[in-house]
Structure 1
Amino acid sequence: MLRKSLSVALCSVLLIGAPLSLSAQSSAVTPVAAEQGSAAILPDLAAFDAFIEQTRKQFDVPGVAVAIVKDGRIVLAKGYGVRELGKPDAVNAQTQFAIASNTKAFTAAALAMLADEGKLSFDDRVIDHLPWFRMSDPYVTREMRIKDLLSHRSGLSLGAGDLLYWPTTTYTTQEVAQRLKDVPLSGGFRERYAYDNILFGVAGLVVEQVSGQSFKSFLEQRFFKPLEMNSTVFNSDDLRPGMNTAVGHAKSDWTRLEPVKVMSWHNVSGAGGIYSSVLDLSQWMVAQLRKGQYGSGDQRLFSAKQQQAMWSMLTPINVGTPSVPELLPTKPNFLGYGMGWQLSDYRGQRMVWHTGGWPGQVSRVTLVPDQDLGIVVLTNAEVGAAFNAVTYRALDLMLGTGSTDWNAAYGKAVAKAQANADESWAKHVAKRNVKLKPSLPLSRYEGTYADPWYGDVRLFRDKGKLRIQFSKTPDLLGTLEPWQGDTFIARWDQRWLNGDAFLTFNLDADGQITLATMAAVSPLTDFSFDFQDLRLKPVAADNATAK
């Protein structure tokens, strides 16, 4: 099926060299005229097309969409490949993809709008607008500012609390936010960078409280409508049959590429959820590059002052060494996070950018402000190497900064990551004592276990096997396979999740279970499976029920 998808003809180029105005989406530009007008702006378009086709083949990506804007004009808006593996529908510039955490920039911009209107300040305390808001530390609760919600410096660990909404849960947005009071802090307040999603969900609630609108309505009325982002929807709940929408793909058990089910982030919408197209995001990038201005007049989303605030570094990030020498050109001189945006440089040029990860879809938006340049890459497979390779190839073309083979470079990085994961698993296998059996009969492990921040996890037997079900997460249902002693491996029924986890029971001197802890099996597992923060206690042990 994959080879069949690779033979699908490329979609026609849209709007190359055309002015990006509010009438752009209805502009009629033929493929021939577009290609003729592109040569001076995007050198060697044919080679760029060939590079993306190589990217798709090398990293098993069914579909890719790319847009480039330069000096207020669309240089390229184009689709490659198919929306779903094994089906003929081609990706084009208006195909909707999940942009995931690229939503965060919209959340920050929404708050910037409200700041321009004098309805809040980024320096306001969160509890001034949400009096019920609580972190696990009273000092952090009292001192948390709105800008802290947007800058990954709260003291939460990487991805802390993500299991409250990932995979899709039945919690409401406010319930997710209220459970923050029990999510542990692992670092000092404003001490270091640790990426989180849950506080952007809180930021969305601030927008609702201050504006008097739902977050969905605010985004639709204040961004999507004025920018004529006609292919953009608030989240997957707004997708309908027949829409031009890409289907996500993942490799079940890290090996077999297959379509994945559509999931919703309805309860942390400020962190991720928007579905959009590269054509729509071209409008968004130009408005960003114009410091909030859009259209042919002086219409503004937000002021230049507020944009400067969003693009100013609040949280420095340590600059590491790339995993393979071939990626050394990507190593920045500085790296940090503003509000909803990553900040760094590439070959002497300042970059403002972000990535997004969603079940089966990953993406990247990159701005080079001093060159009035923007690049967006949307993909329908879970491999960041693809969007990075395409992004850096486009940067090199537009900046004239070299001809690195980014597919080869990122291919080596992917191979090394896989080798490291294989080595990690081999070490687990080598240390396993297969003769060490569970201390208790399976019936003794059954029951309800409660974690303070997540809630209930139920263990039960079915057809002779021990099963596990996260109470608020229908897709976290699986079988507990004995590993060694009182450690089991949770093998989720949804194999494309690639989130299998060790589960270890602690027993007291009387052989009673006092605690169960979890940890991801593979280092490749998405950080949003924050199993390591769970502290599961048998409900009967303290006669309590998870709320």
Structure 2
Amino acid sequence: MFTRPVFTLALLLIMLLVSASVSAKNWIDEYADYVKRQAIKYQVPGYTFVYYQQGETPKVFVFGRTHRGGERITENTVFRLASVSKTFTGILTAKLHEQDILPLSTPISELTPDIDFSGNGMNGLQLQHIVGQSSGFMPNAYDNLIEADYPLRRVLEQLGELEPICKPGECYTYQNALFGAIEYYLTSQNTSYHRQLQTQLFTPLGMRTASAGKGALLSSKEWARPHIAIARNKWREGLVESNYYRFTPAAGVNASIRDMTIYLQALLGEFPTVVTPEIIEKVTTPRVVTRRETYRRGWRGHLDEAHYGLGWRIYDFDGHRINYHGGWVKGYRADVAFAPESGAGYVMLMNAESNMINSTTAEFWKRYFANQQK
């Protein structure tokens, strides 16, 4: 039997160990409370996010409804991913390259053989420059034509007449419209971007709610409606627009947080027969400097370096490597990020255009790395 002093000391040690364990676990719950407070402050209709640490059960948090009077958001609610789609395009093109189906060195003349890009000196433009955001065309060229519902071919023809600001591979020039060349090529090969995603990624990974295209979103059993800003922190439910869905490799993928958790697991190397370590290495190898990213709202002060790979941004976040991409289309925001050295991943999906996501994602990684150092 313990004497009183020994018993007291033992009890104290147990309490300290339990307290430390609870503290280590509670940082994510405290973060979730912070996100919820932010959502209430900015009157965001709904969101979901997941924190996944290798070796642990994924932690999924949901808030709000699909729309006013609609169902509560669940882990199976499908959202638009917007430009997070580019990360899927990076993985897909790297797989097609690995399979010798579509080399990353494929020139634009083969991707769009009946649309001339040679007149503006873009003979050197290749698939890797398109997916790597270093085409040489001015940033966001002809996004206005996408938003005006111009057809895919017409926008590509306009791009073919545009003068570049640098040679392919020499500077960072973020694009949406040029990603249409990938869809254009796949269609000419009697397939499609959606079909390739389904057979190469969604089906083998077991991503049952993931899809590409507007029709697929609208036919989902559960899906979050878009909400558009009408005033400061005020939202109205809007219609799902078709424009960026015509450029699916840039912004046309849909998924639930359940499927995005599987995606994180694949990115962290847990499905090596589907997404090989070589593919992950290839898409997250820095190719071009994106210096302006270090000043972005919510992340400023944390980013020491920023680059773009193949469909992925590569950040030095307070001395830690994270691979990231954000997305924004009318009515939706999305973020995906993973830290390969730490074995951690994070995704947030929202059915509103709130800038809240800029701060919440950066705050997640700030708290995550602070907790790792304890």
TM-score, L = length of structure 2: 0.85
Does 1:367 find its partner at 2:338? yes
Q: Are residues 320 and 119 of structure 1, via their aligned partners in 2, closer, same or farther at CA, if it must alter by over 3 Å?
A: closer
SS in 2 for 1:143: coil
Report the alpha carbon displacement of residue 108 of structure 1 after superposing the two structures with TM.
1.7
Determine whether 1:52 maps to 2:35: yes
Task: Tell me how many residue pairs correspond in the alignment.
Answer: 352
2:173 maps to amino acid: A
What CA distance in whole angstroms lies between the structure 2 residues aligned with 1:110 and 1:367? 18
2:177 is matched with which residue: 198, 201, 210? Answer: 198
CA pair 73-204 structure 1, distance change in 2 beyond 3 A: farther
- How do 1:105-504 and structure 2 match up within 5 A? 105-135=87-117, 137-140=119-122, 142-167=123-148, 169=149, 171=151, 173-209=152-188, 212-240=190-218, 243-252=221-230, 256-264=234-242, 265-290=244-269, 294=271, 299-301=273-275, 303-319=276-292, 322=295, 328-330=300-302, 332-384=303-355, 386-400=356-370
| Deviations 1:222-269, CA, capped at 9 Å, x for gaps | 211111111222122223467311111122266742111111233211
For residue 378 of structure 1, what is the amino acid of its counterpart? L
Aligned 8 A contact 2:287 2:307 in 1: yes
* Counterpart secondary structure, 1:271: helix
Paired with 2:367 and 2:233, the residues of 1 have a C-alpha distance of 33
1:134, 1:180 within 8 Å by CA — same for their partners in 2? Answer: no
Q: Encode CA deviations 1:443-494: one digit per residue, 9 max, x unaligned.
A: xxxxxxxxxxxxxxxxxxxxxxxxxxxxxxxxxxxxxxxxxxxxxxxxxxxx
| Preserved CA contact (<8 Å) 2:299 2:359 | no
RMSD across aligned C-alpha pairs, in angstroms?
2.7
SS of residue paired to 1:351: strand
Distance 1:123 1:131, change over 3 A: same
CA contact (8 A) 2:177 2:247 kept: yes
Q: 1:87 to 1:328 in 2, by over 3 A?
A: same
- 8 Å Cα contact 1:248/1:380 also seen in 2: yes
Alignment partners' CA distance in 2, 1:247 and 1:189: 38
Task: List per-residue Cα deviations over 1:23-44 (Å, max 9, x = no partner).
Answer: xxxxxxxxxxxxxxx9687434
Letter matched to residue 257 of structure 1: W
2:255 maps to a residue whose letter is: S
What runs of 5+ residues in structure 2 fail to find an aligned partner? 1-20
Aligned mates of 1:182, 1:277 — CA distance in 2: 39
1:333–1:345 Cα contact (<8 Å) kept: yes
Match of 1:66 in 2: 49
Give 1 or 2: higher helix fraction. 2
Q: Which residue type is aligned with residue 274 of structure 2? A: R
Give % identity.
20
Deviation at 1:78, TM superposition (A): 2.3
